[in-house]
């Protein structure tokens, strides 16, 4: 199971590379429940279908995807504000 890593004041990282559906969505939902409103979660995934699924999970939990990009080939970074 991946661990939530604090990377700054009110900012956390969740590295989900290597995980396939439904695990990225499940771990993202758990991580969002463990951070406070206004804090930021940065999720990394290398599973393309997880990009849309993570966005859906975030929105269902009242959070907002503020950025999504590909910092390296085959890896997506999804920035979510709780």
Closest CA to 16 of 3, 32, 34: 3
Per annotation, catalytic residue among 7, 21, 67, 70 = 21
CA–CA dist 38, 57 (Å, integer)? 17
Answer yes or no: 51 catalytic: no
- CB count in 10 Å sphere of residue 72: 9
List, by residue number, the catalytic residues: 21
């Amino acid at each position: 199971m991946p661990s939530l890593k604090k990377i700054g004041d009110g900012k956390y990282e969740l590295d989900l590379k290597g995980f396939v559906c439904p695990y990225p969505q499940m771990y993202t939902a758990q991580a969002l429940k463990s951070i406070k409103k206004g804090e930021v979660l940065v999720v990394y995934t290398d599973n393309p279908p997880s990009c849309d699924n993570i966005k859906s999970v975030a929105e269902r939990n009242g959070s907002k995807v503020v950025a999504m990009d590909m910092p390296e080939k085959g890896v997506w970074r999804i920035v979510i504000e709780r």
